[in-house]
Amino acid sequence: MMRILCLILFLYCSNACAQSSFYAVDSLREIRIYFYDSNWDHQLDSLYVQGDNERILADLIIDGSTYDSVGVRYKGFSSVSVNRVKNPFNIKLDYMIDGQDHNGVDKLKLSNVYQDPSFIREVLTYEIAANYLPSAKANYANIYVNDTLWGLYTNVQAVNKGFLNDHFGNKYYPLFKCNPKNLNVSPGGENANLSDAHGNDSLDYQQYYDIKSDYGWEALYNLIDTLNNYSDSVNKVLNVDRTLWMHALNYTLINFDSYIGYAQNYYLYKDKTGQFNPLLWDLNMSFGSFSLTDASSIYFSGFDILEAQNMDPLLHHTQISVSPRPLLRNLFLNERNRKMYLAHIRTIVNENFSNQNYALRGQYLQNLIDVSVQNDTNKFYSYTDFITNLNNQVALVTADCPGITQLMDARTTYLSNYTGFSGEPIITNIVTNPQNFVVGDDVWITANITDATDAILGYRFGANMAFKTTTMFDDGNHNDGMANDGMFGGVISNSANVVDYYLYADNDSAGVFSPVRAAYEFYSIQSQLNVGDVVINEIMSNNLSTTSDASGKFEDWIELYNTTSSPVSTAGLFLTDTLGLLQKWELPDYTIPANGYAIIWADEDGGQGDLHANFKLSNFGEQLILTNADSLVIDSITYLIMADDIAFARLPNGSGPFIMQAPTFKANNDFINSITEKQEQIKVYPNPFSDVIKWNSFEGIEVRDILGKLMYTSENTNRISTSTWQTGIYFLHLKDKNQTIKVIKIQ
């Protein structure tokens, strides 16, 4: 098997691909807004002043495509003013018409390029950030209002359910926009800093964080409590590595209109591993355009360009935090976290700034939009300022805005000489053994690591599993050759068929990752599953009221069961209900624990998450096939017509033939039989039965045969004559008690 370098990628639906095209940096969008009311600007000003998030109606044309009855309001805080012509817009396409979108995009975030004479800060920063953590896409759009050119805007992808589904494979977990309702702009304001200063109840934090999901306050408070009081355990509730990447980007690019400044302008999303992930937002003042306090003792009153060039990336470790910044300070208490953080800064600097790639890209972006900037009569700065600010400072009302290369060339020199930036170990010759591993094997990873004191191996078996770490050794006892020979070995015990992994090593000076973008990028090895390792264990094709998906809908579902005593991944597997199309739907990289279950919703709705198939189950019965990438059939079943809310399940669980029975959603199919056997002793007799079946109380009942055919129904009885029934298995459903009992007819 070949070791490959992988980005964290999820299955993108067609809408996601369209979204990517809509935000392609090389394309300038044309967006025309036609407000219904002539006093639209007064209405929007009034809503903004009142702090009202209501919208006014308009029609919209995006690159020639027309959309009716969209909702428009202003967006942002400091970039909005009733005295400005060019204000930022938040446009909701499905405001009045459910499901209305443009190539999968249902919300436009149009920024007015405030505080950025260069016009490129936001787009360039998002492009850089996307290499290291999930990030919004951004490009440019010429905006027209009632056919009058309003100006050139940045068109930034919204962090909404579509974004979450694309990057995390799920959109229903807790999401918070970390922007307080009333921003405290005094130096040292706490804002959304994740301190526990406001109390020990989640209700105490609601004015500081804007919830964007249906639930999650308890989870947010648990994160806050853990971060502040049990920071040694914070990795259980926070993706620490991704947080270090966010800090590394903010400090390298001097993006202080963020957590490290006023503790705002970021999102938190709790993914299916149970960890919160920080997400960057609102990057128009990166590259030093925002030069106010960072809440440290040194820059409590802000900083100038020289200080920005030489900003210490560990200020909240080496200095006093005037206002709590636990997401920096408490993580930096750990020496390894500090070394990992500086390793991420090294990667950002080496890949973007030392080689001058950022300057070339910045010039490209300015060339792309040059004519549009000249045509923008509502821009905040002159065309000369636009040309100048790529390389040189421009005076703003509040302070000088540094030239981007003026800032970053000097900052690159400063960071390259910062203690902990260099002197790192060198990792080479990574080898996995055995090459042809199978589920349950111990997989050894070895590598030559020079000048290392310690090394760790990070690994996981699927995207729904957080990375775990294990120590690597150079002691001669871990498949590592001779002791102290520079070869380190580490083992991943009881492995799955898919193993994602990365290496990290450090010494007294610095740390290093391999691959350098870990853990956003990682190495991956994979083996084939054997027939029978994963089976189709239970299905429901007529789920009317038993179990709903995350959207609250009762959809068809397929239960997969891992028959092995090791975890397995569904990566590389396919499900189909069409014999001539074996690779109809590819399963995501999802870990099923040993002897565990996974539910696939067969609802043709991939927009709900990566465990939603692109087909539905037929109510009239059909064949269902599970294959691998080589079209080898791992399992297949054929089912017939099923009654409402009756499942088709293996009995015994995982290995037996299929029978009709009450559903056991994501649970052992034998459970329903152990329950009904107890019920049978109490209620039903005789069982097995011949000519009559009775129970000891009058009940409303339905009886169906194994194919789901209704044999008998009554609203109030305690016996049935069964002399004309065929021998076999029947299901007696007690309506009032919502219990289903399996009974057997004999001669």
Q: What residue spans in the chain does CATH classification 2.60.40.10 cover?
A: 426-526
Question: What is the pLDDT, as a whole number, of residue 688?
Answer: 79
Question: What is the pLDDT, as a whole number, of residue 471?
Answer: 98
Contacts of 464 (CB under 8 A, 6+ apart): 169, 272, 273, 590, 591
* The listed CATH number (2.60.40, 3.30.2000, 1.10.287, 3.30.70) that belongs to domain 534-661: 2.60.40
**Strand 468-472 with 426-433, pairing:** unpaired
291 vs 255: CA distance, rounded Å: 9
Contact of 249 with 287, CB cutoff 8 Å: no
Q: Return the SS3 of 229.
A: helix
496 vs 526: CA distance, rounded Å: 9
Contact of 541 with 618, CB cutoff 8 Å: yes
Question: What is the pLDDT, as a whole number, of residue 738?
Answer: 65
pTM: 0.89
Question: What is the pLDDT, as a whole number, of residue 17?
Answer: 56
Q: Return the SS3 of 247.
A: helix
Stretches where the chain sits below pLDDT 70 are 1-20, 186-188, 671-683, 706-708, 737-738, 747
Question: What is the pLDDT, as a whole number, of residue 42?
Answer: 96
Q: Return the SS3 of 389.
A: coil
Neighbours of 324 (CB within 10 A): 20
Please say whether the structural domain 426-526 has been given the CATH code 2.40.40.20. Answer: no
680 vs 673: CA distance, rounded Å: 10
278 vs 227: CA distance, rounded Å: 14
Q: Return the SS3 of 4.
A: strand
Cα 252 to Cα 266, 346, 392, distances in angstroms: 17, 9, 18
566 vs 723: CA distance, rounded Å: 49
**Strand 647-650 with 658-661, pairing:** antiparallel
**Type and span of the H or E element at 183:** none
Cα 612 to Cα 11, 101, 169, 455, 703, distances in angstroms: 11, 21, 10, 39, 32
Residue type for position 211: I
- Tokens linked to 602: 């067969």
Please say whether the structural domain 670-745 has been given the CATH code 2.60.40. Answer: yes
Residues β-bridged to residue 177: 210, 267
Read off the pLDDT of residues 202-248 as tens digits, 9 standing for 90 and up: 999 999 999 999 999 999 999 999 999 999 999 999 999 999 999 99
